[in-house]
Copies of this chain bind each other. A is one copy, B any other.
Amino acid sequence: MPLEAMIRKLKVSNELDQHDINEIRALPIQMRRLDADAVIVRERDRPEQCCLVSEGFLIRAKMTDRGKRQILSIHVPGDIPDLQSLHLHVMDHDLRTLSESVVGLISHEALRKLTRSRPTVAAALWKESLIDSAVFREWIVNLGVRPAQQRLAHFLLELRQRLTAIGRYCDETFTLPMTQLDLADALGMTAIHVNRVIQASRAEGLFEFRRNEVHLKDLKRLSELSGFDPVYLHQRADL
C-alpha cells in the first residue's frame, strides 16, 4: 500500500480527482525491503526508476572531495526523494536508507506515461518537487544563520510537522533513527557538539532524544527558540 501513502502525501498539498487517484493506484510498483544504511542510488548513477518510501527513513547526502559528508534532506513514508531523476538524468547526490526500510520502485517510463496522460498528476508531482526545493531553502537558512541549538530545534520541528502530516507523530514523540553523527552531518556540525547541544536542551527541558526516539517536551519554547514557521512546507491550511 505504498501508493496509498503517496496519494495521502500528494493530497497534503494538491487536489486530485478520483480518476487521477485511480491512475496512480494503477502504477506498476516493485516493492523492496532494504537494510539500514543501504545505498539506493549513488552520485553519478543514472537510475531508471524512482523510489517511493513506504516504511522507514531515507536521507540524501553529498560527499566532498575532502571526504566530508553533508546530509541534504531526510525522507519519510510517502516521499519520492529521487523524483528529480525523472528529468535530471545524472544523480548529483546519494540516496540511502537510515533505518531498515521498505521502498517501492516505479519506473521512469511508467511515471512519464502517467504525467502525459494526467496533467493534474504531472502538476502535483512538479509541485512536490517545488516543496522539496522550499525545504532545501529553509535548510540553507538553518545552516547559514542559526546557531547550533536553534538549528537542531528547527530540524526537529520540521520533522514533527512532516510526520504529523502522515500520521506518524503522536504524544509529542516520534522515531528518528539517526545517530548523533548523522545529525552532525545534517546540521553542519560535529557529533561532539551535537551531543553537547542535546544535553543542554535536555537540561533545559526542551526535548529528550534517546535510542532513536525524540520526545518534545516544550513545544512553545522550541518554536520560539528555532523560529520555526511551517509556511515553507506549503501544506494545505486545513491540516
Contact = CB atoms under 8 A, between A and B. Distances in A.
Contact of A64 (B87, B127, B134, B145): B145
Contacts of A127: 87-88
Given A69-B145, A122-B122, A144-B188, 5 more contacts: A62-B138, A70-B144, A72-B137, A84-B134, A88-B134
Contact of A145 (B87, B90, B116, B188): B188
SS class of chain A's interface: helix, strand, loop or mixed?
Answer: helix
A63 B191 CA distance: 28
Given A66-B227, A133-B133, A72 B140 contact: yes
Contacts of A169: none
Contacts of A187: 144
Interface string A85-124: 0011010110000000000000000000000100100110
Interface of A: 43-44, 60, 62, 64-66, 68-70, 72, 84, 87-88, 90, 92-93, 116, 119, 122-123, 126-127, 129-134, 136-141, 143-146, 185, 187-188, 227, 229, 231-232, 234
Given A88-B234, A129-B126, A70 B141 contact: yes
Contact of A62 (B43, B129, B141, B143): B141
B87 A137 contact: no
